[in-house]
Amino acid sequence: KINGDRLWDRLMEIAQIGGTPNGGVCRLTLSEEDKKGRLLFEDWCKGLGCSIRVDAMGNLFATYPGKDPYLPTLLLGSHLDSQPTGGKYDGVMGVLAGLEVIHTLHDQNYVPDRNIVVASWTNEEGARFTPAMIGSGVFSETFSLDYAYQQKDKEGITLHDALNSIGYKGTDSVKPNEFQYALELHIEQGPILEREEKQIGIVTGVQGIRWYDIHISGKECHAGPTPMDYRIDPMQSVPLLLTELYKISEVFGEDARITIGYIDASPAVKNTVPEKASISLDIRHPNEDQLTKMHEFVLSVIQTIDKESKSSIELEEIWHSESVVFDDNCVHAVQQASETLGYPHRRIISGAGHDSVYTSKVIPTSMIFIPCKDGLSHNELESAKKEDVIAGTNVLLHASLQLQHK
């Protein structure tokens, strides 16, 4: 069994880096806080004799040496970055749980047959750079390095420059073929486990996600002297667009998700009809066919309203992460570990995207969930019970040992 106090103390210590007055964390990827978090994690790993590698995306790999360094390896981990108003668990718990697994082996002087690598992936959140999970996305060759480097944050800083600015554009080449299996522990970020009083979610897959920017173009003019019927006002298209888009909930039922995170107007001045506005749109469904139908629904809403409205409206698709089914062996190992340890558990599909989506494209992968309070995440009040964090990490340890011997 793992050392729960040590793990919990580390979680609370790293939460100070970027800690907010409301008890949350703001540790945006490739920020100075992210750098501090990475360095602390590296220190902890080095204390166990791990070697550290950093690839061209700033993904961090800490290797705990096994008996045969040439055998394919087990990959644990998650991400250290957070939302701007994020919590203490999303991502970082999975990284520190991986560290705790190797620390437990180290305590026992147990040398595993194979190396164990604990990774922290760059820009999982997608809060600073688009899309989410771009670090593991490049690792899995879903995105090219060039594409990733060109992504810009809201200040116009490229991911490439941000990597350089904190000194994390690495030179190590870390390829999927050195890994045999991958496991990730994470909070559920939704209400199911808590409601059903299960301590462990055996994650069998991840729902599909599509991201868009809807661009509305009009004509900038003065809010006072310009008659209403002279205006080509992007904001006047917003109510109809949103009314129609939110119908996705009714049309596609309770498994469908739709989120509008923000609407950016330009020039964003009180007394000027904006030149343009853009709406961020996130839609999700566990069933990829249904997600395709939701996509077609969005297309037809845009086309209809573009025709009816004075402004012109365009849909830009910026990310599509297809629904994923995790590897049977990995799912089975998590199931067995939960049963052996006697934790109440159930199978579950992830509503959030995770780095495991991309590792699963190139390495047999699965995930372990634990409950979080009120199902709340991407919120400074995000919270998880110490006993659940410990349970999840014990499952991670046991599933890891089992997969080591496959």
Ligand X SMILES: NC(=O)NCCC(=O)O
List the interface residues with a second copy, window 233-272 (CB under 8 A): 233, 235-236, 238-243, 246, 249, 254, 256-265, 267-272
Q: Rounded CA gap, 336 and 339, in Å?
A: 5
Residue type (1 letter), 120: S
Q: Is the dihedral of CA 100, 104, 109, 112 positive or negative?
A: negative
Q: How near is the Cβ of 115 to a second copy at its closest, in Å? A: 32
Choose one: 1-9, 156-164, 183-191, 292-300; the region binding a second copy (CB under 8 A): 183-191
On whether 345 is known to bind a ligand per the annotation, the reply is no
> How would you classify residue 197: left for phi > 0, otherwise alpha for psi between -120 and 50, otherwise beta?
left
Taking the C-alpha atoms of residue 380 and residue 23, their distance in angstroms, rounded to an integer, is 6
User: Is 79 annotated among the ligand-binding residues?
Assistant: yes
Quick one: 217 or 236, whose CB is closer to a second copy? 236
**Nearest approach, Cβ of 404 to ligand X (angstroms)?**
26
Q: Compare residues 42 and 282 and give the one whose CB is closer to a second copy.
A: 282
Among 1, 175, 222, 386, which residue sits at the site for a second copy (rule: CB under 8 A)?
A: 222
CB of 400 to a second copy, least distance (A): 25
Residue nearest to ligand X (CB): 271
Q: Binders of a second copy: how many residues, by CB under 8 A?
A: 72
Query: Is 332 annotated for ligand binding?
Result: no
350 contact choice in a second copy, ligand X, none (CB below 5 to 8 Å, kind-dependent): a second copy
In degrees and rounded to multiples of 5, residue 94 shows phi and psi of -70, -30
| Tokens linked to 83 | 């939302």
Nearer to a second copy, 114 or 284 (CB): 284
DSSP letters of 19-87? B-TTS-B---TTSHHHHHHHHHHHHHHHTTT-EEEE-TT--EEEEEP-S-TTS-EEEEEE-----TTB-
Angle (deg, nearest 10), helices 92-107 and 4-14: 140
Among 304, 376, 383, 385, binds a second copy (CB under 8 A): 376
Q: Binding-site residues for Zn(2+), please? A: 79, 90, 125, 186, 378
